[in-house]
Structure 1
Amino acid sequence: MTRYRHGLFIGKFYPPHAGHHAAIRLAAANCDEVTVVVMSSAWETVALADRMSWLRDEHRTEPTVRIAGIPCDAPLDVTDDAVWTAQVAAMTAALRASGAERPVDAVYCGDAYGEELARRFGAAAVVIRRTAESSTAVRRDLAGRWHHLAPSTRAGLAVRVVVVGAESTGTTTVAERLRSHYANRGGTWADTRCVPEYGRDYTAAKWAARPDQPLTELTWDTGDFDRVAAEQTASEERAARTGSPLLICDTDAFATAVWERRYLGPAARTGQPWTRVPPRAVYLLTDHRGVPWHDDGMREGDLEVRAAMTDWFADALTTAGRSWVLLTGSSAKRLELAVATVDPLLRLGASFGDPLHGPGFEATA
C-alpha cells in the first residue's frame, strides 16, 4: 500500500463513531502524520470542542494523529465553485491553526466528492469504504447505536442525573430505584449505572483509623473534602464511559461543597474548583420532610442540621443556576416524580439538530 507523508480526514463527526475511528487508524497506518479536521455548523447541537475532545481522547495513544477543528457555516454544494472555495479555505485555515507544516498529500474520504476535494489540495484521493455505521444512524437511534461510540463520546452524551439530599432522606434509595427502573428496559439500558457516594466510604475508612473515637468527634479539614470530591468525580467519569445513555449519581462533587459547609461551618470555602462538574440534566433533591431519620451506624443524627440542609442544597443549586426538582411524599411518589422528570430529559438528550445539507451532501455523516 502507498505510504504518504501527511493524510487529511475531514468530517462533521456529529458524533464520532467506530467507523470514524477505524478510518483514522487506517490513515495513521499509512501516513507519517494525519490531521483530522472537524467542521461544525451553527445548526448542530453538539459543540465543536466536545467532538474534538472525544476524538483526542480516543486517539490519545496515537502520536501521529492530530485533531483540528473549525466552525464553518458556508453552504454545501458540490456543483458550486464558490462554495468549494469557501469550504476549502476553512479547511486550510484549520490545518494552519493546528500547526501542521507538511503539505497534504493524501485525502481520505468515503464520499463521492472525495476526488474533487483531493484535487483541490493537490493530493491523492484515498477511498474509505463506507459501512453501515454513520453519524446519521447514531443521531436517529442513539440508544440503539450506543455501543458504536467510543467511551469518551458515551461519557459526553450520557444524560447525567444527580440525587442529593441531607442525611437519611432517601437519596441512595431513590438513586438505586431509578437505576433499576431504567436498567429493566433491557438492551443498552441494562448497563445503566448508579455512582455510589464515595464520601461514605471515606468516612468509614477515617473512622476505622480511630475506632476509639465517636463518629461525631471525627476531625475534618479542607483536604478531606478535596479528596472526596476528586474521587467522586473520577468514579463518575469511569461509570459514564462504560454505562448506558443515562447515568445516575448518588451525590457529586458539587454537593461535596454543601457537606463541607456542614462539617467546617464558617471555615468552609466557596468556589472550590472541583464544584465545576460536567453538565447535568437535573438534580433531584430529596426532602427531609416525611422521611423518618434512620441510624444505619454511619449517621450522626443532628436533626436540626438535617432539616437545614435541604434549603442549603436548594440555595446552592439555585445560586449556581442548576436545574433541580424537590422530591417529596412516599418513596413511591418520589420515584414517580423522578421518572416523570427524567423521561423527557432522556428524549431531549437523544435529539440532535439537523446538520446542513446540500447538493452532493444529502446523506453525509
Structure 2
Amino acid sequence: MIRGLIIGKFMPIHLGHIALIRFAAAQCNEVIVSMSYTDKDSINAELRFSWIKEIFKNDINIKPVLIEDNFDDESLPLEERTKKWASVIGSRYPKIHKIFSSESYGESFARNLGATHVAFDYDRKQIAVSATLVRDHPFQYWNYIPDVVRPYFVKNICFYGPESTGKSTMSVRMAQLYNTEFVPEVARELITSNDFTVDDIIRIGYAQTERVKEKRKVANKMLFCDTDVITTEIYSYHYLRIIPPVLFDLEKEVAYDYYFLFNTDTPWVADHMRDLGEKRVEMYNVFKAELDKRRIPYPLVTGNYEEREQFLQHAINKILSA
C-alpha cells in the first residue's frame, strides 16, 4: 500500500493542480488531497472543496480531505515551518509514503514527515499557470480553469434602463459576438400584458433570478442580462404601487459585476407590453435613481444602435483584457 499526499489551498483548483494529482494517483494506491482553509480565504472553502470532489468523483483512489489551517506559522524558517505541518498532518492522516508537489517546500516537508518527495513540473513548463494568476487574470487563463470552476469567474453584465432602449437587441448581439449566453427579460415569457398581479410579479422575480443562475453555469466568461430584479421592483411599484418584500431578498441573490444604463435617445418601438412611450424620460430618471441610491456605478449607453454596439464592445474588451 503506497499512500501519497498533496497539500494546498486550491484557490482555485486549476489544470496544473489536476495534472499533479493525476500524476500522483498513477503512482499510488491512494492519494490524499488535503485542502487547507482559513476564514479569511478569498474563495469560500466549501465551494473550493466541492470543485475538487466534483472533478475527482470517479477516481476511487483520490481522497479529498478538508483541513483548517490553524497551525501554520509563516514567520518560521522553512524547515521549522514544515516541521509543524508534519506534526499536524502526521497526527490526522494515515502513514504517508510520498509527498507530491511543485513547490519549494516539498523536500523539507517530506523529510519532516518521513516520506519521499516527488517533484512535478517545478518550473511550470508543462502547465504555465498558478492559482494567483487565475484569480488575478481569470480570462487570460480561462483555458486552465476547469469547467466546474468557470462559473465562479463569469462576469454578470446587466443591460439596464427603460423600455425600447436596445437592451434586448444588445444582449443578443453581445452574446453572439462573445460566444456566450444571455438572459432575456423573463417577464415576457410569463405575462402577456401589463395587467398583472403581485403574485405574477413574485413569479417573475423568482424566474428571472433562477434563469441567471442557470445560464451562469454555461456562460463563457460573460453573461449578458437584459434586465434584473431592480427592474422588476420598478415596474411593480409603477403599475401596482407596491413592491413585494421578497423582491429585495431576490435582488441580493444575484450580484451584477457591471451595469450599463441605456439612455432614451433611440426611436420608440411599440409592442404589446410597452405602454410608457410618453414617460420614457421620467422612467429613465427612476431607473437611474435606483442605481444611484445603491451606489452602483454605471456607464451611460447612448447613440444609435451601431454606436451603442461599438461602445459596449470597447467596454467589454477592456473587461476581458484586465
Instruction: Give the shorter-chain TM-score range.
Output: 0.7 to 0.9
Cα displacement (A) at 1:300: 3.4
Contact 2:161/2:261 (<8 A) preserved:
yes
Cα displacement (A) at 1:290: 2.1
Q: Which residue of 1 aligns with 2:106?
A: 114
Contact 2:82/2:105 (<8 A) preserved:
no
Q: Which residue of 2 aligns with 1:235?
A: 214
Give me the whole-angstrom Cα distance separating, in 2, the residues matched to 1:83 and 1:220.
Answer: 63
Residue 10 of structure 1 is aligned with which of 7, 10, 16?
Answer: 7
SS in 1 for 2:225: strand
Cα displacement (A) at 1:333: 2.4
Q: Which residue of 2 aligns with 1:31?
A: 30
Give me the whole-angstrom Cα distance separating, in 2, the residues matched to 1:89 and 1:58.
Answer: 25
CA 344–301 in structure 1, closer or farther in 2 if over 3 Å, else same: same
Task: For structure 1, list consecutive stretches of 5 or more residues without a partner in the other structure.
Answer: 42-46, 76-80, 184-190, 208-214, 349-365
Contact 1:34/1:64 (<8 A) preserved:
yes
Residue 102 of structure 1 is aligned with which of 80, 93, 102?
Answer: 93
Q: How many residues align?
A: 308
SS in 2 for 1:37: strand
What TM-score does the superposition give when structure 2 sets the normalisation length?
Answer: 0.75
Cα displacement (A) at 1:273: 2.4
Alignment of 1:57-206 (within 5 A): 57-60=51-54, 62=57, 64-68=63-67, 70=69, 74=74, 82-86=77-81, 89=84, 101-103=92-94, 105=96, 106-111=98-103, 113-128=105-120, 132-136=126-130, 139=134, 143=139, 145-181=141-177, 183=178, 191-203=179-191
Give me the whole-angstrom Cα distance separating, in 2, the residues matched to 1:22 and 1:261.
Answer: 54
Contact 2:159/2:226 (<8 A) preserved:
yes
Give me the whole-angstrom Cα distance separating, in 2, the residues matched to 1:90 and 1:167.
Answer: 60
Contact 1:197/1:251 (<8 A) preserved:
yes
Cα displacement (A) at 1:301: 1.0
Residue 321 of structure 1 pairs with residue 312 of structure 2: no
CA 251–67 in structure 1, closer or farther in 2 if over 3 Å, else same: farther
Moved more, 270-279 or 151-160: 270-279
Cα displacement (A) at 1:171: 0.5
What amino acid is aligned across from residue 324 of structure 1 in structure 2? Y
Residue 249 of structure 1 pairs with residue 246 of structure 2: no
Q: In angstroms, what is the RMSD of aligned CA positions?
A: 3.9
Give me the whole-angstrom Cα distance separating, in 2, the residues matched to 1:323 and 1:126.
Answer: 49
1 or 2 for the larger relative contact order (CA 8 Å, sep ≥6)? 1
CA 171–254 in structure 1, closer or farther in 2 if over 3 Å, else same: same
Give me the whole-angstrom Cα distance separating, in 1, the residues matched to 2:258 and 2:68.
Answer: 30
Contact 1:282/1:325 (<8 A) preserved:
no
Give me the whole-angstrom Cα distance separating, in 2, the residues matched to 1:38 and 1:322.
Answer: 32
Q: Deviations along 1:243-300, whole A, 9 cap, x unmatched?
A: 1x3332222345443344344422433772221255543201112x222332334x13
Contact 2:7/2:33 (<8 A) preserved:
no
What amino acid is aligned across from residue 173 of structure 1 in structure 2? T
Q: Which residue of 2 aligns with 1:358?
A: none
Cα displacement (A) at 1:308: 3.4
What TM-score does the superposition give when structure 1 sets the normalisation length?
Answer: 0.68
What amino acid is aligned across from residue 170 of structure 2 in structure 1? V
Contact 2:12/2:48 (<8 A) preserved:
no
Give me the whole-angstrom Cα distance separating, in 1, the residues matched to 2:79 and 2:300.
Answer: 53
Cα displacement (A) at 1:20: 1.2
SS in 2 for 1:36: strand
CA 161–38 in structure 1, closer or farther in 2 if over 3 Å, else same: same
Cα displacement (A) at 1:173: 1.6
Contact 2:233/2:243 (<8 A) preserved:
no
Give me the whole-angstrom Cα distance separating, in 2, the residues matched to 1:178 and 1:54.
Answer: 30
Give me the whole-angstrom Cα distance separating, in 1, the residues matched to 2:279 and 2:158.
Answer: 21
Contact 1:33/1:64 (<8 A) preserved:
yes
Give me the whole-angstrom Cα distance separating, in 1, the residues matched to 2:99 and 2:113.
Answer: 8
Moved more, 258-267 or 148-157: 258-267
